[in-house]
Amino acid sequence: MERTESMLAQTRPPGVADADPGSVLLPGHDVPLGRYTTVRRLLPQRPRRMVGAWCFVDHFGPDDVAQRPGMEVPPHPHTGLQTVTWLLDGEIIHRDSLGSVQAIRPGQLNVMTSGQGIAHSERSPAVHPPVMHGVQLWVALPDPARAGAAAFAHHADLPRWRDGELDVTLLVGELAGERSPAVVHTPLMGAQLELGGTAPTTLPLRPDFEYALLAMSGSAEAAGVGFEPGALLYLG
């Protein structure tokens, strides 16, 4: 596996059974956003609406945009959500109703908290890299944050480390004793895992959390299930 995005969500909400449903492989479906951009939506789906507080998972690319505008999502509103944007290739300019204007490039993180309401656009600059590839993860905010003020943060420096053949970049939350600087409002985690070989790898995980894995390139196997780009592996 070359790269995979790992999402670890909050503990199960009150009233949800503790029984582990086991692994479920969820195929994505294409959703057009604007005139030029199509994402592969992996959450929500009928078998699995959410993974903890992660409520939307949109994987886009890799797309050849050398002769195209690239990302072109016009202004639109959000309420009650937090968006977590991560790029492997390309460049996007984020603009919002708070006055934020911020470029995001590979290895950087944008986190937008809508609170009571925010409007934003996401567009590639006129001169942009030839490939667009990334993921946008959406978080359902708890009530206090839903009623709070909107906010936007850009993080150019994130915790990164190597464990054997595994390179880890922590986007949000905590993992293996490391903590991301990104502010979240519910216990969750998101990380990029990049394997340099085929040797089995383990990560310290919390048994009271739900997990899912998204292959962004290459292929992998987890919990005895193989998966490739285009599907989300829910681990329970």
CATH number at residue 182: 2.60.120.10
pTM of the model: 0.89
State the Cα–Cα distance between residues 87 and 169, nearest whole angstrom: 12
pLDDT value at position 10?
A: 47
pLDDT value at position 196?
A: 85
Q: Which of 14-23, 67-76, 151-160 has the lowest mean pLDDT?
A: 14-23
By residue range, what is the domain housing residue 200? 24-234
Residue 122 known to bind ligand? yes
Mean pLDDT of 95-123: 97
Which of 198, 214, 133, 124 shows the shortest CA–CA distance to 165?
Answer: 198
Residue 221 known to bind ligand? no
| Domain assignment of residue 121, yes or no | yes
Count how many domains the chain has: 1
- Whether 177 has a pLDDT exceeding 70, the answer reads yes
Mean pLDDT of 141-160: 96
Mean pLDDT of 13-22: 50
| Domain assignment of residue 221, yes or no | yes
Residue 29 known to bind ligand? no
Residue 76 known to bind ligand? yes
Share of the chain above pLDDT 90, in %: 72
AA identity, residue 176: A
Mean pLDDT of 101-105: 97
